[in-house]
Each structure stands twice: as C-alpha cells, then as structure tokens.
Structure 1
Amino acid sequence: MADIDSDFVRALSGKVGGVSIVERYGKKFARLLPAIYHDAQSEEQLHQRGKLQAVIALYQRVKDSPLPLVWRTAAIGLPRSGYNLFVKRNIHAFRGDGFVSDYSQLHFSEGTLQQAENLKLKSTPDNNFTLCWTCNPETASSSHTDRLILILVEEDATFFPHVIETPACRADDSFTFRLPDGVSLPSHLYCFFSNKDFHQFSNDKYFQL
C-alpha cells in the first residue's frame, strides 16, 4: 500500500478504477484491487477466520470493563488501535473452532509499568489463593501505590473473563482471594498492576489454578 503525496489524489476517496483510496491516521494510501475477488474458503483460511471471530468475541465480552483503556494506552504511538493490538496479541491463543488452545498465550494487559518482582501463587487448604511478590523500590516505572488487578477465566465452553479490581497495592506484598461464586476449577489467572490514576499498566502474568 503506497503513501499518497499528491494534492489531487489526496482529495480522492473510495475506489478509483483498479485502485482503492483509504485514509489511516490522517494520511491517505492507495492500493491495487484484485482483478477478480475469490472468497477465501481453503481449510487454512477458514481456520484463521474462526480464530479471528473468537478473539473478536473475547473483546466484545470485556469492552465494558476497564480493559479497553489498558489496550488504548498500550497502542499510543503505534500505527494501530487498542482493539487491533488486543486482537494481534490474542489471536494465536485460539483454535479455528473458537476454543482456546493455550491459555498462557492470552493477554489482558500490556504496558510500561514495572511488573512485581518474584510474583508467585500459592493455594491454601481452605480453598483460598494467595499471590505473593516483592515490592519493587520506587522507580520511574513503579510506585508502592500501584493497584493489583486480576482476570479470572474459567476453563469451559462459556468463555467469560471476570475482571477483579482488588484493594491490594504493590506495597502489600501479597493478596489472598477466593474464586467468585459460580467459578470452578480449572481456571486461569492473569494479574497486572495499574498506577493509582489508572493510566499506566504493567504486562500481565499468567497462572493456572
């Protein structure tokens, strides 16, 4: 796709002859259109469509949570939206039939905030789970007031992430929780930190419960 640097062509939009004029991020681009369109129906193409549909459905299920803000922030300065970045990071976690093939490949946060050091998960006899970490020293990319956020995903056909904004902060060094009502094992945990103003985020870390 070619960047347009012509006053005349920049005034155009849509399809002109065999060329499509599109605008992205304030710039116009031209690309050739195929002479004949063939619907993609090969096994590999159908597989990719299934994966794409699955990750789009996942985004729709979290779009009313704080997570879209996380991805919009992660996409700042990139030539794509937060939505497109979310799709790019998560599409490889799915199979063509729409089910997750590898839960460790799912990601719910990405950012420059420092992740907690030595982050570990322990289970307790009373069916609780405890996250423990070493509080990072104050740096430009972390603070003792950073808040812990959890995402829980139950391993079943009704894929629905539970977003939990915990009261724990980085200085606490640990947080104990129970599975929400209606969520059973096996489940999958993703945890990350946000700053107190919720405009900086760390990469997430995965645990299997």
Structure 2
Amino acid sequence: MAKFKSPLGVVQGGYGNLVTYCVKGQNRVRSKPLEYHDANTPEQQKARRRICIVSRFYSKLKETPIIDIWRVAAIPTPYDRYSLFRKVNTNVFLPNGKIGDFSNLHMAQGTLPQVLNMQIAIDLEDNVTLTWTNHLEYITSYDNSRLGIIAIYSHRSFRPRLLEGISATRKDQKAVFHVDRKTANALHLYVFFSSPEKNAYSNDQYFKLTFE
C-alpha cells in the first residue's frame, strides 16, 4: 500500500492493476488481487448461517435481564455486548440452527470469582438443591454476591430465561429452587453470581438435568 497527495483532492478508482481509495482524507494505492476468490463457497455459506443463528439467539437475550450481564462484561473490552457474545459463543452453534454443545455455551461472563465444589441434585417433585463451597469467606465483599441461574429447556433451546425467586447469596453455600419438567427431556442450567449492585458478574458454571 502506498500513500500520496493529489492536487485534485480525493481520487478513487482503478488504473490497470492498481486501485486508489481514500482513508481519513489520505489517498492510498494498492494493487488488485491476482486471483479472484469465490466468496460463496460451502464453508463461507456455513459461516454466514452460523452468524445468523448466533444473532437470532442473541435477540432473545435482549428480551430478558440476561442482556445486562453482557453489557457489563463488555465494558472493559474493545467489544460491544453483541460482539463479545458472538466472540465467546459462535463456535457452539451449528449451521443447521441448533446448539451443538450446551456445555460450551456461556451465558454469563465477568470478573467475580467462581465458587468451588458446586453440586446439584433434583428430587421427584422437581425441587433442585444446589450446594457449593465459599472458599473466599475471608473476603467479605464477596459474601453478598447474589446467586443467579439461567435455564434453557431442551425443547425450547432458543428461549433462555433467568429463574426468578432465588435469593441465595454466596455465603449461604446452598440454594433450593423448583423447576418445571414440562415436555422437556433435559434442562440446561448456567449458574453464576452477581454483585448486589449488578455491576459485576462471575463466569457461569454449567449443569444438565435429565428427566426420565
């Protein structure tokens, strides 16, 4: 690429194997590519379909409080919330419109530390018990971090929702909540913590509940 000044001002166009164009008021010259590459190969079509699918899933997040997690997560990065979500999650979506790996999907991201030894169990009445170890109990600023759970039912995988009515904090080291089996054969849960002011979040931890 070469830069030059022209007495004619901005010059753009093609001259032989050269192309002139303007960037921020500067005229620049580059050579044309020697070969033409088809921009519609099967691989490129799949990549575009995958991006469309990610965008469709993300649009559902905007209907829920989940979107605020990604707004906060993007603040210290060079990305906006959508670009960050796509960067983190694009590869888990398949070109056929499905989620290829729920365990590698991330629904929450942030700087708060995760807890340890998180365990989950469900009884016959669909009451779920979640336990964990608060290994940072000596840092009191973390104690009141609020537990959050995002649920995705297998039969409505593009309808993530934040479970309501959960009031447990990090220092409680236990939470009990109810889920509805509905017609799903599995429920994917993404567990995270948020600061009381909701200006900081932790990365999520994934669990799958299978209904028989």
Partner SS for 1:156: helix
Q: How many residue pairs end up in the alignment? A: 193
Q: Which runs of 5+ in 1 are unaligned?
A: 9-14, 24-29
Hey, what does 1:59 align to over in structure 2?
58
Distance 1:157 1:108, change over 3 A: closer
> One-letter code of the match for 1:175?
A
Asked if residue 137 in structure 1 is aligned to residue 150 in structure 2, the reply is: no
- Report which stretch shifted further, 116-125 or 93-102: 116-125
Contact between 2:64 and 2:161, CA under 8 Å: does it hold in 1?
A: no
Partner SS for 2:143: coil
Hey, what does 2:153 align to over in structure 1?
154
Contact between 1:99 and 1:157, CA under 8 Å: does it hold in 2?
A: no
Structure 2 distance, partners of 1:33, 1:61, is 44
Q: Specify the structure having the higher radius of gyration (Cα).
A: 2
Structure 1 distance, partners of 2:124, 2:145, is 29
In percent, how many aligned pairs have the same letter? 33
> One-letter code of the match for 2:68?
L
Hey, what does 1:26 align to over in structure 2?
none
* Aligned-residue RMSD, C-alpha: 3.3
Hey, what does 1:12 align to over in structure 2?
none
Structure 2 distance, partners of 1:78, 1:19, is 34
> One-letter code of the match for 2:40?
Q
Hey, what does 1:174 align to over in structure 2?
174
> How far does residue 19 in structure 1 lie from its aligned partner after superposition?
6.6
Distance 1:126 1:201, change over 3 A: same
- TM-score, normalised to structure 2's length? 0.77
> One-letter code of the match for 2:179?
L
Q: Which runs of 5+ in 2 are unaligned?
A: 6-10, 14-18
Hey, what does 2:201 align to over in structure 1?
201
Distance 1:143 1:157, change over 3 A: closer
